[in-house]
């Protein structure tokens, strides 16, 4: 077990610095709290832990003492959580909710006049979701009101409910927009009366999506030109045709900002009538779309692009696995399942349409390879991140963990969508149109230098390459990633450089996309699940009308597409972009947290089992290890690293044994044992058993 050395328990005298407050985001563990600021991560003074929750944005002042810098919370700027999940109890005339999240150090109370617990039929010991009425302070306890009873501690979706409460997410959809969506109808001939809309149902368009997808918002058509180039069509569901600006559906979609994909459910941005029916590009059904036709030469360089509203008819729907099998084995892939297999039927259906589906896919694959080369030459960076997904059985239990990886099929779709997004953004930029542009700023020089210095210090790259990375060279960064591919330090290189990057956001004006190496970029290809894409569709339609039909037609179309005055798109666009950026951050964090819940449930039935793993990261908390077979990640606490105390060396990015001097660092191959799992928090705890190669 880890042992504390003498003197660690003594309090160091501190001296408050007279300096302006910093702002940062709170990150809590069971024992400690930190605040991530522009000046790095600072440990929170202990008394602040009862007043803040994980994810809160706070203003802090900095203190210095013998133990180093510490932060004192001066005020909470923005609360991250509006709800909690906890165990209901009684405390005299008060009800009480004890949070299941053990990082929350204070109980919350229900006032005597509040009947919410009784109305929900809550009994002592039940798990409840409660909305926070007031937050704990130094002088008062927090107050909540019960929203719903979840059940006992064995409730199957307890962990997911904790995630939803933490990120203030809710199931279901409001009645008014649901009713409005149910009244919408599809009028193909009426839509074709619009002089901007073109009928391209004669093309062979197809979709490729995950096998379990229910909404299909993008389709592709592609042909080779006589000169060896390509004619690519990207067709995106025309959501803005159905969702008028300021309607009940629009306002609810705007509030949500994005669909949220949790491990066991989807919280959609739009009502099901739209996302899974009217707007979904289902095979052999006529659908309204926004089309981008792109002409490319034989080297994959864009020669021109045309955009317009359209009517399309998708001919075939493929899952990614099916597309990959066809790319690898051609028609022989369909023969494996016999003449009546789903894949064989799709090939036959395409042949009846006069199309060789395998040849179409290979053409799209050829273009994707060329486009990757084009992007690499202009400085694009591709960070390979690991995404673990739990497969659930009919009872909602995780039975397998999978890791979604980039394949030829996912890549050909990705490259087509990236290209369409760039072409639309370039069109809007040339015409000076404000919209929801996707902006990725260059890395902060200090963060980039820190990542480069760490890689040089660890001997992963040489000093020359480190200097080039510090100077912001995308070529140098890509070289470091490529050279590390297939080695034990790949994840370390990827993680350090990715952490140095800024987060991409939405802004009204185009400012370029650093990681993609794109002069202009926006999100246009997923309006069913992202509100910024819907904004781009609306502004694009108005720009097309202005160019092709004139100002009068723009004035007639504007109220439905973008409103006017103080409530119109122009007036609220900056605030909308900020809100969409924040909702995206929340959705990503919630999706990741929900998968961690299911990973913990999966390994909760495997306590005591041992696995080969690699150390993926280290910090003051301990070492994170990623298991080889599932790619799931767990934490080895300092106490479970061995029979000595380990100190964190930030410069060497290592945990160093105080007696032996052995170091645990990213890239070490190890064997770990599953010690415990906490699904409610999504925590998986491991212990270091041994290393196949001695740590040194």
> Residue 14 CB: number of other CB atoms within 10 A?
15
The structure tokens listed for 147 are 């929203």
Q: Mean of the per-residue pLDDT values for the chain?
A: 90
CB 235 within 8 A of CB 220: yes
- Give the per-residue pLDDT at 155: 79
Number of H helices, E strands in the chain: 18, 31
Could you tell me if 241 and 389 lie in one domain?
yes
Q: Are 200 and 223 in contact (CB under 8 A)?
A: no
Question: What are the percentages of helix, strand and coil residues in the chain, rounded to 5?
Answer: 35, 30, 35
pLDDT digits (tens, 9 = 90+) for 613-644: 999 989 888 999 999 999 999 999 988 998 88
Q: Is the pLDDT of residue 390 over 80?
A: yes
What pLDDT band is residue 10 in, cutting at 50, 70 and 90?
very low
In a domain, 506, yes or no: no
What angle do the packed helices 342-352 and 357-377 form, to 10 degrees? 90
Average confidence (pLDDT) over 426-432: 97
- Can you give the residue range of the structural domain that contains 633? 606-690
Q: How far is CA 649 from the centre of its chain?
A: 30
pLDDT recorded at residue 696: 39
Contact between 257 and 168 under an 8 Å Cβ cutoff? The reply is no
Q: Could you tell me the sign of the dihedral formed by the alpha carbons of 505, 307, 560, 249, in that order?
A: negative
Q: Do 556 and 657 sit in the same domain of this protein? A: no
CA distances from 602 to 154, 209, 393, 595, 598 (A): 15, 26, 12, 10, 6
Distance of CA 169 to the CA centre of its chain: 15
Asked if residues 32 and 70 have their Cβ atoms less than 8 Å apart, the reply is no
Check: CB of residue 214 under 8 Å from CB of residue 529: no
Residues 347-366, mean pLDDT to the nearest whole number: 95
Beta-strand ranges (E) seen in 100-248 are: 108-110, 127-134, 142-151, 198-199, 205-209, 218-224, 230-237
Whole-angstrom CA distances from 341 to 210, 265, 322, 345, 652 are 18, 29, 11, 6, 55
Which pTM does this prediction carry? Answer: 0.88
Residues 335 and 408 in one domain: yes
CATH number at residue 113: 2.40.50.700
Nearest C-alpha neighbor of 96 from the set 43, 140, 143, 64: 143
d(CA 559, CA 568): 8
In this structure, the answer to whether residues 65 and 87 fall within a common structural domain is no
* 492 within domain boundaries: no
Name, in order, each residue with C-beta under 8 angstroms of 10's C-beta and a sequence gap of 6 or more: none
Last residue of a domain, one of 78, 107, 128: 78
Helix 490-500 and helix 474-484: axis angle, to 10°? 160
Q: Residue 302: which of 310, 311, 294 has the closest Cα?
A: 294
Q: Distance between CA 588 and CA 169 in Å, rounded?
A: 12
Residue 244: which of 506, 551, 521, 541 has the closest Cα? 541
* Type and span of the H or E element at 95: strand 94-99
Is 122 inside any structural domain?
yes
Cα(539)–Cα(446) distance, integer angstroms: 37
Q: Count the residues in the chain.
A: 696
**What angle is formed at CA 458 by the lines to CA 456 and CA 463, rounded to 5 degrees?**
15
User: Phi and psi (nearest 5°) for 86?
Assistant: -160, 180
Band the pLDDT of 355: cuts 50, 70, 90: very high
CATH of the domain at 671: 2.40.50.140
- In this structure, is residue 400 part of a structural domain? yes
Confidence of residue 538 (pLDDT cuts 50, 70, 90): very high
Residue 655 sits in the same domain as residue 672: yes
Helix (H, G, I), strand (E, B) or coil at 187: coil
CB 656 within 8 A of CB 623: no
How far apart CA 237 and CA 310 sit, in angstroms, is 10
Q: Are 109 and 64 in the same domain?
A: no
In this structure, what token pair is assigned to residue 541?
């339609």
Whether the predicted pLDDT of 19 surpasses 80 = no
Give the three-state DSSP class for 539: helix
Report how far residue 275's alpha carbon sits from residue 270's, in angstroms, rounded to the nearest whole number. Answer: 6
User: Distance between CA 537 and CA 268 in Å, rounded?
Assistant: 19
pLDDT of residue 231 exceeding 60: yes
Regarding whether 332 and 272 lie in a shared domain, the answer is yes
Same domain for 227 and 282: yes
Residue written as token pair 């122009």 = 570
Residue 229 domain-assigned (yes or no): yes
β-sheet bridge partners, residue 664:
655
- Calpha distance 531→317 (Å, rounded): 25
User: Does residue 597 lie in a domain region?
Assistant: no
* pLDDT value at 18 more than 50: no
Instruction: Quote the distance between the C-alpha of residue 258 and its chain's center.
Output: 11
Question: Token digits for 213?
Answer: 């997808």
Asked if 251 and 574 touch (Cβ cutoff 8 Å), the reply is no
d(Cα 265, Cα 385) in Å, to the nearest integer? Answer: 23
3-state secondary structure of 108: strand
Residues 245 and 375 in one domain: yes
pLDDT digits 0-9 by tens, 262-286: 999 999 999 999 999 999 999 999 9
- A 10 A CB-CB count for 84 gives 24
Q: Given a cut of 80, is residue 14 above it in pLDDT?
A: no
Instruction: Report the domain count for the chain.
Output: 4
Q: How far apart are CA 259 and CA 266, in angstroms?
A: 7
Angle, alpha carbons 514-387-488 (nearest 5°) = 80
**In the predicted structure, residue 655 carries a pLDDT above the cut 50:** yes
Query: Is residue 50 a contact partner of residue 70, using CB atoms and an 8 Å limit?
Result: no
Neighbours of 396 (CB within 10 A): 14
Measure Cα distances from 359 to 314, 347, 409, 559 in Å.
Answer: 17, 11, 14, 45
- Of 85 and 696, more confident: 85
Boundary (domain end) residue, out of 57, 78, 99: 78
Q: Is residue 235 part of a domain?
A: yes
CA pair distance 7, 140, nearest whole angstrom: 34
Residue 65: per-residue pLDDT: 64
**Positive or negative: CA dihedral 508, 514, 517, 523:** negative
Top-confidence residue, 297 or 500: 297
Domain boundary among 40, 60, 78: 78
- For 472, phi then psi, to 5°, come to 90, 20
> 602: which 2 tokens?
């999966």
- DSSP H stretches of helix in 120-198: 158-166, 175-182, 188-191
The half-sphere exposure of 199 on its side-chain side, counting CA atoms within 13 A, is 8
pLDDT tens digit sequence for 178-203: 999 999 999 999 999 999 999 999 99
Quick one: pLDDT at residue 166?
A: 81
- Residue-level pLDDT at 594: 96
Q: Are residues 183 and 242 in the same domain?
A: yes
Share of residues in the chain with pLDDT > 90 (%): 65
pLDDT at 690 over 90: no
> And the tokens for 359?
């040849």
The answer to whether residue 12 scores a pLDDT higher than 80 is no
- The stretches of 407-484 forming alpha helices (DSSP H) are 408-430, 445-457, 463-470, 474-484
Would 406 be classed as within a structural domain? yes
> Pick the residue with more confidence: 434 or 150?
434
For residue 291, name the pLDDT band (cuts at 50, 70, 90).
very high
* Least confident range of 41-55, 69-83, 437-451: 41-55
The pLDDT confidence band at residue 139, using thresholds 50, 70 and 90, is: confident
SS3 353: coil
Same domain, 232 and 381: yes
Return the bridge partners of 302, or none. Answer: 296
The pLDDT tens digits for 21-75 are 788 888 887 777 888 887 777 888 777 777 888 888 989 888 776 666 788 888 8
User: Mean pLDDT over residues 572-585, rounded?
Assistant: 96
Q: Using the structure block, give the residue that is written with the tokens 């952490």.
A: 499
Q: Are residues 146 and 53 in the same domain?
A: no
């Amino acid at each position: 077990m880890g042992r504390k050395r003498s003197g660690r328990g003594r309090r160091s005298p501190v001296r408050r610095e007279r300096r302006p407050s910093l702002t940062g985001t709170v990150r809590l563990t069971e024992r400690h709290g930190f605040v991530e600021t522009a000046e790095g991560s600072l440990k929170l003074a202990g008394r602040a832990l009862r007043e803040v929750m994980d994810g809160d944005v706070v203003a802090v002042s900095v203190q210095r003492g013998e133990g180093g810098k510490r932060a004192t919370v001066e005020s909470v700027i923005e609360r991250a959580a509006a709800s909690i999940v906890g165990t209901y109890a009684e405390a005299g005339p008060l009800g009480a909710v004890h949070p299941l999240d053990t990082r929350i150090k204070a109980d919350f109370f229900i006032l005597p006049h509040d009947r919410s617990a009784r109305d929900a039929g809550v009994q002592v010991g039940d798990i409840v979701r409660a909305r926070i009425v007031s937050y704990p302070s130094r002088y008062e306890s927090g107050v909540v009101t019960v929203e719903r009873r979840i059940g006992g501690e064995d409730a199957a979706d307890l962990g997911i409910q904790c995630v939803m409460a933490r990120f203030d997410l809710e199931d279901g959809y409001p009645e008014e927009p649901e009713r409005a969506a149910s009244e919408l109808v599809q009028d193909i001939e009426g839509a074709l009366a619009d002089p901007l809309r073109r009928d391209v149902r004669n093309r062979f368009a197809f979709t490729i999506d995950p096998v379990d997808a229910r909404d299909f918002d993008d389709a592709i058509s592609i042909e080779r030109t006589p000169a060896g180039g390509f004619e690519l069509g990207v067709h995106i569901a025309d959501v803005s045709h159905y969702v008028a600006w300021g309607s009940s559906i629009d306002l609810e979609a705007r509030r949500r900002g994005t669909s949220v994909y949790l491990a066991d459910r989807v919280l959609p941005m739009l009502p099901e009538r739209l996302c899974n029916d009217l707007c979904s590009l289902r095979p052999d059904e006529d659908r309204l779309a926004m089309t981008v036709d792109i002409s490319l030469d034989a080297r994959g360089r864009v020669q021109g692009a045309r955009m317009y509203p359209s009517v399309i008819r998708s001919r075939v729907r493929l899952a990614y696995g099916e597309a990959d099998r066809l790319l690898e084995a051609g028609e022989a892939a369909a023969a494996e399942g016999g003449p009546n297999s789903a894949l064989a039927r799709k090939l036959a259906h395409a042949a009846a349409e006069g199309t060789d589906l395998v040849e179409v896919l290979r053409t799209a694959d050829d273009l994707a390879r060329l486009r990757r080369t084009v992007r690499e030459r202009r400085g694009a960076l591709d960070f390979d991140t690991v995404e673990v997904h739990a497969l659930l059985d009919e009872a909602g239990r995780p039975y397998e963990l999978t890791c979604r990886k980039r394949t030829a099929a996912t890549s050909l779709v990705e490259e087509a969508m990236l290209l369409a997004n760039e072409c639309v953004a370039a069109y809007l930029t040339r015409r000076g149109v404000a919209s929801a542009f996707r902006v990725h700023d260059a890395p902060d020089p200090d963060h980039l230098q820190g990542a480069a210095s760490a890689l040089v210090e660890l001997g992963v790259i040489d000093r020359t390459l480190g200097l080039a990375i510090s100077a912001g060279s995308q070529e140098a960064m890509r070289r470091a990633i490529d050279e590390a591919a297939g080695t034990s330090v790949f994840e370390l290189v990827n993680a350090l450089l990715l952490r140095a990057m800024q987060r991409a956001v939405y802004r009204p004006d185009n400012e370029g996309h650093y990681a993609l190496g794109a002069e202009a970029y926006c999100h246009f290809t997923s309006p069913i699940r992202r509100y910024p894409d819907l904004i781009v569709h609306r502004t694009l339609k108005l720009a097309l009308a202005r160019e092709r039909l004139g100002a009068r037609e723009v004035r007639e179309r504007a109220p439905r597409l973008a409103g006017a005055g103080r409530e119109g798109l122009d007036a609220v666009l900056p605030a909308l972009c900020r809100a969409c950026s924040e909702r995206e951050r929340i959705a990503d964090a919630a999706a990741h947290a929900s998968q961690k819940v299911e990973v913990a449930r999966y390994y909760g039935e495997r306590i005591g089992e041992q696995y080969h793993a690699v150390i993926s990261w280290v910090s003051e908390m301990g070492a994170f290890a990623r298991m080889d077979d599932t790619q799931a990640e767990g934490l080895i606490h300092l106490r479970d690293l061995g029979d000595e105390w380990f100190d964190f060396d930030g410069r060497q990015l290592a945990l160093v044994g105080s007696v032996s001097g052995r170091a645990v660092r990213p890239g070490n191959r190890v064997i770990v044992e599953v010690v415990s799992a906490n699904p409610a928090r999504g925590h998986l705890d491991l212990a270091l058993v041994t290393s196949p190669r001695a740590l040194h």
